Structure 1
């Protein structure tokens, strides 16, 4: 299981968001072969699988015109699956939408690449934003300074409703966990009106009534008792009258080792 995580980590750090299924399938072949050659001593395994790396962070500074949407993105890989929390001037970001923070707890045996985006619509003077990423007991952070370019403290009615088109602000690009575990795949969205979230399984079928899979009101997909047959790309689509956005998560059910 731990070499599975090691190989998956290599792929996560080197892969892009546009990676297709064929690329992941080649990776999975390597993962299966590695299980049979696991030579890591048992006493070293727990430490080998716990890590955290921020692979994409916001720039050091941004100029922001109030009323426009500024996107701050943190992209991280970790085991267990990382959780992302945003802060503005050292205070948790709750003023626009409590779901700005990614609050999903990953299983101890999991590994994932998480992508979290904070949408900033208002800046007064200058603000310091921090992306805090946690994975088990490990933490990493990235800080950026956002300053206003227009000096305005008033928001138009349109600005108060940003974003109009759907935006998926939290998702996993890839998720690895042990067969038999219950897992949660995030698909946190923003938009006005509130976007409708639709999940498709690894066969491209819309998930509606399924004994093992359930889409929560918050947009997360819960998969009970992960199976080998669940391997593949699950897709989340957020839609409202102004458009839609699609995000894909490649799920790899790993054998316990």
Structure 2
């Protein structure tokens, strides 16, 4: 995606707030790696396996930037991501990178994983995994905000968003759920502050995350 003209109220930055340990070991169970970064604008997070990108995140908060063109915006956000590393029957040593990018800065961290190999590993169709989501967002009241909820799998999964009162959000003038799973909130006001829940589900189960949104004074 091309860069959009931005009128940021603060200087862009990017920092990791949570990273996997440098060395991990898998024995009889799958391992979950989690990575988290904060920045202006909100970062996206991708993962690389032995130097190769596992999947590409097509866009960041580009949709909200279109709606907010010409406005002064905060675009301060915390993005979290996780991947599941399956145990295997053979011993392997692999390397995973967490890659954070907010179109101004890039960061990466490396984890080396030793898979000890186990005959107790079981692989079956499972519930979806939300791979990248907004953990927290700050934006000026009156602007449009985009909350991430991305899933990368080969199973057909449904994405549903709920507000803090557990009311299901539908596509309407106020809200829009993107094809990639993100929630768009238009014309934000103080009453929009709170925790929003994204639920990814299929016939085998579900995964859910919570995203906190704080609208500041315009």
User: Normalised by the size of structure 1, how large is the TM-score?
Assistant: 0.66
1:126 aligns with 2:88: no
Kindly name which structure, 1 or 2, has the bigger radius of gyration based on alpha carbons.
1
1:144 aligns with 2:111: yes
Residues in 2 aligned to 1:206 and 1:46: alpha-carbon distance in whole angstroms: 34
Deviations 1:198-234 (A, max 9, x none): 1112443211242121112321112223333322221
Residues in 2 aligned to 1:53 and 1:112: alpha-carbon distance in whole angstroms: 11
Q: 1:109 to 1:136 in 2, by over 3 A?
A: farther
Residues in 2 aligned to 1:61 and 1:105: alpha-carbon distance in whole angstroms: 32
Q: 1:11-26 counterparts in 2 under 5 A?
A: none
TM-superposed deviation, 1:193: 4.6
TM-superposed deviation, 1:58: 0.8
TM-superposed deviation, 1:57: 0.7
Q: 1:106-185 counterparts in 2 under 5 A?
A: 109-121=74-86, 125-150=92-117, 159=123, 161=124, 164-185=126-147
Q: 1:249 to 1:46 in 2, by over 3 A?
A: closer
User: Which residue matches 1:41?
Assistant: none
Structure holding more strand per residue: 2
- The question of whether the paired residues in 2 share the 8 Å contact of 1:63 and 1:147 is answered with yes
User: Which residue matches 2:60?
Assistant: 104
Q: RMSD between aligned alpha carbons?
A: 2.9
TM-superposed deviation, 1:60: 1.1
Residues in 1 aligned to 2:47 and 2:151: alpha-carbon distance in whole angstroms: 15
Residues in 2 aligned to 1:119 and 1:241: alpha-carbon distance in whole angstroms: 19
Deviations 1:118-173 (A, max 9, x none): 22237773221111112342222210012332299xxx9x63x55x0232221112
User: Which residue matches 1:222?
Assistant: 184
Displaced runs of 4+ in structure 1, greater than 4 A? Answer: 190-193
Gaps of 5+ in 2: 1-8, 66-72
- The question of whether the paired residues in 1 share the 8 Å contact of 2:42 and 2:60 is answered with no
User: Which residue matches 1:24?
Assistant: none
Residues in 2 aligned to 1:136 and 1:218: alpha-carbon distance in whole angstroms: 19
User: Normalised by the size of structure 2, how large is the TM-score?
Assistant: 0.76
Gaps of 5+ in 1: 1-44
Higher relative contact order structure (alpha carbons within 8 Å, sequence separation ≥ 6): 2
Structure holding more helix per residue: 1
1:198 aligns with 2:154: no
